[in-house]
Chains A and B, each alone.
Chain A
Amino acid sequence: MSVIETLRTRGEGRRLLQDRRLPVLVTAALFVVMFGFGAFRYQSYGFLDAQVFMNLFIDNGYLLVAAVGATFVILTGGIDLSVGSVIGFTTMLTAWLVEKQGLPLLLVAPIALAVGAFGGYLMGYVIHHFEIEPFIVTLAGLFFFRGLCLVISKESISISDPTVDRLAQTHVPLPGGSFLSIAAVVSLAVLALAFYVLHYTRFGRRVYAIGGNEQSALLMGLPVAGTKIAVYTVSGFCSALSGLLFTLYIQSGDPLHAVGLELDAIAAVVVGGTLLTGGSGYVVGTLFGVLVLGLIKTLIQFEGTLSSWWTKIATGVLLFAFILIQRTMTARRRT
């Protein structure tokens, strides 16, 4: 018994540094610091208005949904590059069906979601059953869906459908006079659902297990094939949903909508503390990742003199910093 006792205390000692929640806390702290900086610097420009905070959700709701989907994939150790294209395709499909075919949004939305999910399913199937790298398969998905956008139309289609308009304009009032958009509420609901699925269902735990060690998961008798395919299906579904929210946000379909958004989604996941090698991370972290990226944009807007490309540079720098942190953490864990 004594051996175990000493081992146990050794384990306790390292627990704090090894705690998988640490990266999330770092990101949350970063968010608070950045927010505090903004509040201090732009005090007189109304930065502390509650609506500024709410706008983070309104302006980045679609990104949050896409990043939640990407979180599932990355937790299994995979990657999905098709996110931006599926979003772009969904905006085009929705705009085209609603505007050119005159279908009601209520019918179009499920179709778009089903198409996105099916696309994800196909990619997952090929990845798992033919053992082709997810990188390549989802790259083909990226080409394919962007190509489909252009097949629908080379031109942007603006949406004047009253239902879309109404949904886009609806304000969900919050105490204190601020409000959220429908899209923001949906994105938060998706986040909550994802949290529940990842932490309270067997499927969610399998996602973590596969990311931890796929070989072990297989030997432990877990249905690895189904889970992996499901994860890409979830990502496809989330991308499509994100596309619908994006359509509401921007009220048009455009073949060049959301180009490169997969990078933002992946960056948000990584900055949110999820390991790109899989198995460790939280969707709550992804929320903070999205908020941090969104806050960078907001701060740059408030600064006024800084141009939009600083967002990309700042994202790159953050990405680098967090990848370094991940690297040192995993290195320490291994020893």
Chain B
Amino acid sequence: MSLTSLWRAATQHRLFWPVVALVALLVINVPFTPGFFEIHLKSGHLYGSLVSIVLFGSPLILVAIGMTLVIATGGIDLSVGAVVAISGALACLVVSKQADQGSVAGVLLAFALALAVSLVCGAWNGLLVARLGIQPIIATLILMVAGRGIAQLITSGQIITVNSDAYSLIGGGYWLALPFSLFVVALVVALSMALTRRTALGLLVEAVGGNAEASRLVGIRSRRIKIMAYMFCGLCAGIAGLMISSNVSAADGNNAGLWIELDAILAVVIGGTSLTGGRFHLGGTIIGALIIQTLTTTIYTIGVPTQTNLVFKAVVVIVVCLMQSPLFRAKVFGARARRRGRTQKSPGATADAAPQLEVSP
């Protein structure tokens, strides 16, 4: 394979541009933070900018992975931020009520409860979408509004603090010199990869999102698939909620996971999964989440006031979406893109462009 064809193959890989963006963002940091890529061992823990990007990016990666599956079915889940808050609030409440906050059994019980409730939240969304046929945006809006209230109800409007080493391990602790959350993320990623690619779930999700009617006619039980996707998304948000609350050893029903749904959707879109559903890319989503986290870090390190973070994000959202819009590409890149678009469309299109006049009852 010649160099040019290798280059072409690389640039056409769907992860190429996201990876380039991530690397570019990382490199930008070097002049500002000379030891940016350095990782050193301090008192048995690894420290360094890269480590903290992954550490702080962990909850977002989790939420974004769950969101990827939901978006792949052609849906969306706006309630993940609220679920993050509920899960953290519930776990902190349970731990704080215990006599011995450090007890591992108690913390595990708290986790189990929180995750069970997160699953229920996901199932609720799934039922509204798949059983009642409510538009996903609207269906999940309900829990997005009410969920924050529920989280505050759990914490009684206070910020519940816990003092438990076992609890703070998941979001802030270290294990084998690495942040423990890294292992959690790795586990969830491995699990979701296995769940989607080792079983047939991934294929069926992509079929449902790619062509709902064809999926019905081929006998896929799409309702079940959709409910599972929302439940998985709820579970991921629940774990992220545990992590966020563990990191600060406190639950804040009002602010925990605020706007994380938007970041997660953004990560999914940057990662190359289309909002219309179908093909999904977990790897892309992870890179997308890392890009967002690196962007935040970069803005901080290069000395741009942190408050412009959101403006940057907005610009990124719009640029990414415009690049994905065929109409925009046609207008900006002109005839070339248009011609390509047409030839892509042509095979078979004429046959089916034949008048579809039969009445479907």
Contact = CB atoms under 8 A, between A and B. Distances in A.
- Judge A-B direct contact (beta carbons within 8 Å): yes
B279 to A, nearest CB: 18
Interface string A28-67: 0000000000000000000000000000000000000000
A196 interface: no
A232 to B, nearest CB: 15
Size category of the binding interface on chain A: 35 or more
B138 interface: yes
Nearest to A135: B137
Interface in A298-335: 307-317, 319-320, 323-324, 327
Size category of the binding interface on chain B: 35 or more
A317 B145 CA distance: 9
Contacts of B133: 327
Given A143-B314, A315-B146, A323-B142, A277 B307 contact: no
A259 B81 CA distance: 14
B156 interface: yes
B322 A132 contact: yes
Main secondary structure of the interface of A (DSSP, over half): helix
Contacts of A135: 76, 137
Interface in B116-157: 132-135, 137-139, 141-150, 152-153, 156-157
Contacts of B152: 307-309, 312
B265 A139 contact: yes
Nearest to B325: A130
Interface string A202-240: 000000000000000000000000000000000000000
Given A147-B314, A319-B141, A137 B150 contact: no
A320 B139 CA distance: 8
Nearest to A270: B138
Contacts of B132: 324, 327
Given A130-B322, A147-B309, A148-B311, A315 B145 contact: yes
Interface string B294-329: 000000000001011111111101100110010110
Contact of B318 (A126, A154, A259, A324): A126
Given A309-B253, A319-B142, A151 B327 contact: no
Contact of A312 (B146, B305, B314, B315): B146
B305 A151 contact: yes
Contacts of B315: 140, 144
A133 interface: yes
B153 A313 contact: yes
Contacts of A316: 142-143, 145-147, 149
Contacts of A255: 307
Given A150-B308, A327-B132, A309 B141 contact: no
Contacts of A292: none
A139 B261 CA distance: 11
Nearest to A310: B149
Interface string A271-297: 000001100000000000000000000
A131 to B, nearest CB: 5
Most A CB contacts (10 A, CB to CB) among B253, B307, B313, B328 go to B307
B262 interface: yes
A324 B139 CA distance: 10
A79 interface: yes
A139 B327 contact: no
B308 A147 contact: yes
The 3 A-B residue pairs whose C-beta atoms are closest, nearest first, are A316-B146, A312-B149, A147-B310
